[in-house]
Amino acid sequence: MRSLLSRSLNRKAPLPGVFAGMSAGDMRVFQEILYAQSGIVLKDSKRSLVESRVAQRLRALNMHSYSQYLDYLQSGTPGDELVHLIDVISTNVTKFFREPDHFEILDESVERWVADGRKQLRFWSAACSTGEEPYTMAMTLQPHQQRHDLDLKILATDISTRVLAHAQTGHYAADRVASVPDELRARYFRSRFGSEQEAYVVADELKSLILFRRLNFKKFPYPIKGAFDGIFCRNAMIYFDRDLRTRMVYEFAKLLRPGGILMIGHSETLIGIEKKYRTIKPSVYERLNDGVDG
């Protein structure tokens, strides 16, 4: 009997780094905190995902339960912990030349603007993740800069400090650059061999075009000076409610020059909130010259 009881107790004892499941009450508090801090809307069905990602912070802080972590977050003294929480919750799915038609439109738009005599162009990758999007923009734009001696810059922002740190290094494993055409990979990447696999580093001529900064879409007004010729905000608004999406789209309108383009994800739409824009095609919009700043 004693050995059976002992084995039963041993099964119930928590293993290092293994935590009891997140309660519905704790999940609601995480939902409230993340919405208040970042605008991210987490559905109840995402509880297992939240459990696994928040567990990373529990291990880092040597805490033993989700409730203990929530007490810490709400204590008023978490320092940068809210940033770390947003970092682990944020979903970052990206690749080079994702949704390639957008970069074709970017290329065509720049050709048109240059033909109209434009010499200074500014662009914003608003949810840049680990950097593939702004570096793809730079690969698209750099030939124009070289050919026409343009004053060209790209602002790249994200809420996650973790992905921004990765983006700034410009280091990518070989499988991550597989979607880059061979000619562009040879021109804009330097091959490096690590201990196990080949990796690539973005060339300085692309890095010099991009400024990386942290930005929270929920904090208005955005601390950015316009006017931009193009804004890419793709596959980010799907994580927010309609109110925040509407405010974002109007904020983008303030920062876009008339005739500038806004690119959103193919699964996203501005239906009902597009009055400051003309639809060029699904997911691509042009800022109207309506004489209204916002």
- Looking up residue 111, the CATH number of its domain turns out to be 3.40.50.150
Last residue of a domain, one of 88, 114, 136: 88
Residue 240 scores a pLDDT above 90: yes
- The stretch 238-246 carries a mean pLDDT of 95
3-state secondary structure of 59: helix
- Smallest CA-to-CA distance from 133 within 258, 280, 221, 236 is with 236
For residues 81 and 71, give the distance between their C-alpha atoms in angstroms, rounded to a whole number: 12
> Which residues carry out catalysis?
53, 158
Name the pLDDT band for 80 (thresholds 50, 70, 90): confident
Does residue 34 sit within a domain?
A: yes
Name the pLDDT band for 18 (thresholds 50, 70, 90): low
Percent of the chain residues topping a pLDDT of 90: 82
163 and 18 inside one domain: no
Residue 9 scores a pLDDT above 80: no
Does residue 95 sit within a domain?
A: no
- The stretch 210-239 carries a mean pLDDT of 95
110 and 79 inside one domain: no
Last residue of a domain, one of 41, 61, 88: 88
241 and 168 inside one domain: yes
Burial pattern 6-36, b for ≥16 Cβ within 10 A else e, equals eeeeeeeeeeeeebeebeeebbebbbebbbe
- pLDDT at res. 78: 62
- Smallest CA-to-CA distance from 196 within 170, 180, 177, 174 is with 174
Last residue of a domain, one of 62, 88, 114: 88
Does residue 294 sit within a domain?
A: no
Quote the number of domains for the chain: 2
Name the pLDDT band for 291 (thresholds 50, 70, 90): low
Q: Which domain holds residue 126?
A: 101-287
158 and 210 inside one domain: yes
- pLDDT at res. 77: 65
- pLDDT at res. 16: 46
For residues 100 and 96, give the distance between their C-alpha atoms in angstroms, rounded to a whole number: 9
Read off the pLDDT of residues 109-162 as tens digits, 9 standing for 90 and up.
999 999 999 999 999 999 999 999 999 999 999 999 999 999 999 999 999 999
Does residue 146 sit within a domain?
A: yes
At residue 206's C-alpha, the angle toward residues 199 and 167, to 5°, is: 55
179 and 219 inside one domain: yes
